[in-house]
Structure 1
Amino acid sequence: METLRLILRYAHLIGFALLLGGAVAQYFAGKFKINAAMAWGAGIQVLTGVALSAPLGRAVQPDAAKLAVKGVVAVLIAVMVLVPFFRKRKQEGGAVVASGHFHGIVLMTLANAAVAVFWR
C-alpha cells in the first residue's frame, strides 16, 4: 500500500507542475489563456487528491479538515480551468479568460500547495 500511496503522491505533484507550469508559461507569454497543460493538471490534481485521501492502510490518518479545505479548493480550481477550456477548446492555443480569473487560478493553486505543506 505504501508504494501505491507514493505513486499517487508523485502523480499529484506532476499534476501540480502541469497546472502551475502551464499557467506560468501563459503568463510570461502575455496571454491569459487556459491551455491543455493546465486542464490536465487540474484533472490529475483532483483525481489523485481523492485517491490520496483514502486511508490506504496508514496508521495515522490525515486531518479531515485539511482534506476538506484542499478538496474544496481543488474542485474550485478544476471548475475554473475545465469549464472555459471545454467551452472554447477549438480556439487556437486555449480558452482566453479575464486576468482576474487567471490570477485567481494561480493564487488558489499556490494556496492549495501552502495548505498541503504548512497545515499539520
Structure 2
Amino acid sequence: MEALRLVLLYVHLIGFALLLGGAVAQYVSGRLRINAAMLWGSVIQLLTGVGLSAPLRDGDEPAPAKLVTKLVLALLIFVMVFFSRKRAQVARGHFLAIIGLTLVTAAVAVFWR
C-alpha cells in the first residue's frame, strides 16, 4: 500500500505543477485565461487528493479537519477553473484567487501537522 500512496503523491505533485505552472505562465504572458494545464492540474489535484485521503497507512492518517480543509480548497479551485475555462479573458482578481488558493492548499499540506 505504501507504493500506491507514493504513486498517488507523485501524480498529485504533477497536478500541482500543472496548475501553478499553467497559471504563472498565463499571468506572465499578460493574457489571463484558463489554459489546459490549469484545467488538467485541478482535475488531477482533486482526484489524487481524494485517493490520498483514503486510509492507506497504519494509524498515520492526517487529521480529518485538514482533509476537509484541503477538499474544500481543491473543490473551490476546480470550480473556479472549470466554469471559467471557456472565457476569452478571466478577471484579474479571479485569476489571482486561483493562484492564491493553490498556494494556500500547498501551505496547508506542508505546515498543518
2:108 to 98, 106, 115: 115
CA contact (8 A) 1:35 1:95 kept: no
> Could you give the per-residue CA deviations for residues 22-52 of structure 1, whole angstroms, max 9, x where no partner exists?
0000011011110000000000000000000
Structure 1 unpaired stretches of 5+: 89-93
Aligned partner of 1:98 in structure 2 is 91
Aligned partner of 1:43 in structure 2 is 43
Aligned partner of 1:20 in structure 2 is 20
TM-score (normalizing by structure 2): 0.96
C-alpha distance in 2 between matches for 1:82 and 1:41: 11
The CA RMSD over aligned residues, in Å, is 1.0
Q: CA deviation at 1:12?
A: 0.3
Q: CA deviation at 1:95?
A: 4.2
Aligned partner of 1:53 in structure 2 is 53
C-alpha distance in 2 between matches for 1:58 and 1:21: 34
TM-score (normalizing by structure 1): 0.91
C-alpha distance in 2 between matches for 1:58 and 1:84: 40
Pairs aligned (count): 113
Query: Matched residue of 2:58: which SS?
Result: coil
